[in-house]
Amino acid sequence: METRKTYRAYCLDLDGTVYRGSEIVEEAAEFIEQLQQQEIEPFYITNNASKTQQQLQDKLAGFGIAAKKERIMSSAIAAAKYIKRWYPEKTVYMIGSDGLDQALRQEGLERVEEEADIVLIGLDRSITYDKLATACLEVRKGAVFLSTNKDLAFPSEKGFLPGNGAITRLVSASTGVEPVFIGKPEIHMLEAIQHESGFEKSEMVMIGDNYDTDIQAGIRFGIDTIHVNTGVSSTETVVEKEHPPTYTIDNLGYWKI
């Protein structure tokens, strides 16, 4: 396959696209190396809000991928940037882990335990009733309700475990308030990249394996999309969608730079 278009911003999903759990997708690693040889640094886009930029950079380094930390965009980082942009100087009550806490600190946002302007929920493996109760009380008092992503479950070696979307749904069900979700398939991560880097939408492309998150995010944001058949959604499924990806390839080895 010949290159059909050259982009300035290649936005790569991680799990299922660049790697699968603890295994690298070789064609993706080679694709990234080809981009870097042409002095194009891709962006790395993940709904995972629990890991810090450093942890994600270290994981990629373990696969031999030299990713620039500032090019890693998790739903935690996007959430912090969203708050900094649209709710400057507002306080945050947070449920989440190190990735979300560090993202808020990087943007200079203040965390509080009560009387919060914003309630932000990310995956918290040490969740307690008291944390959930506080979130509900703050939302009921009028705090803006945000959540990093709507993933109801995520895979582990034990099977599928409750995801952030399940935690968020409990607070939403109790309060009757729907949150603003930040992660894919919403557009906020891609919008943050465009806002900070100044790309035109025609210069951006979203690459991923999951139609319902990666590809939908690109479609909703109005940029080109490339589906790879290396993870969740099969090629046969996505080509039948009402709004199919711009391009569908088996793996990134078929996309020549």
Q: Which fold has domain 88-181?
A: Rossmann fold (3.40.50)
pLDDT at residue 4, rounded to an integer: 65
Longest dimension (CA), the chain: 56
209 is in an annotated binding site: yes
Q: Say whether pLDDT at 240 is over 70.
A: yes
E strand intervals along 34-84 = 43-46, 72-74
d(CA 61, CA 69): 11
Global pTM exceeds 0.75 = yes
Q: Which of 106, 110, 113 is nearest to 90 (CA)?
A: 110
Digit-coded pLDDT (tens) for 63-115: 999 999 999 999 999 999 999 999 999 999 999 999 999 999 999 999 999 99
Domain coordinates in residue numbering, the chain = 9-47+185-254, 88-181
pLDDT at residue 103, rounded to an integer: 95
d(CA 120, CA 142): 13
176 to each of 78, 144, 170, how far by Cα in Å? 25, 13, 10
Band (155; pLDDT cuts 50, 70, 90): low
Band (133; pLDDT cuts 50, 70, 90): very high
13 is in an annotated binding site: yes
Which residues does 77 contact at the CB level (< 8 Å), separation at least 6?
A: 53, 103, 106, 192
Q: What's the sign of the alpha-carbon dihedral 107, 70, 8, 239?
A: negative
pLDDT at residue 157, rounded to an integer: 65
184 is in an annotated binding site: yes
d(CA 208, CA 129): 36
- DSSP letters, 128-183, are -HHHHHHHHHHHHTT-EEEES----EEEETTEEEE-HHHHHHHHHHHHT-PPEE-S
Candidate CATH numbers 3.40.50.1000, 3.30.1180.20, 3.50.50.60, 3.60.20.10; the one for domain 9-47+185-254: 3.40.50.1000
CB 45 within 8 A of CB 206: yes
d(CA 112, CA 109): 10
Which residues does 173 contact at the CB level (< 8 Å), separation at least 6?
A: none
Digit-coded pLDDT (tens) for 209-218: 989 999 999 9
Say how many CA atoms lie within 13 Å of 87 toward its Cβ.
Answer: 19
Catalytic residues: 13, 15
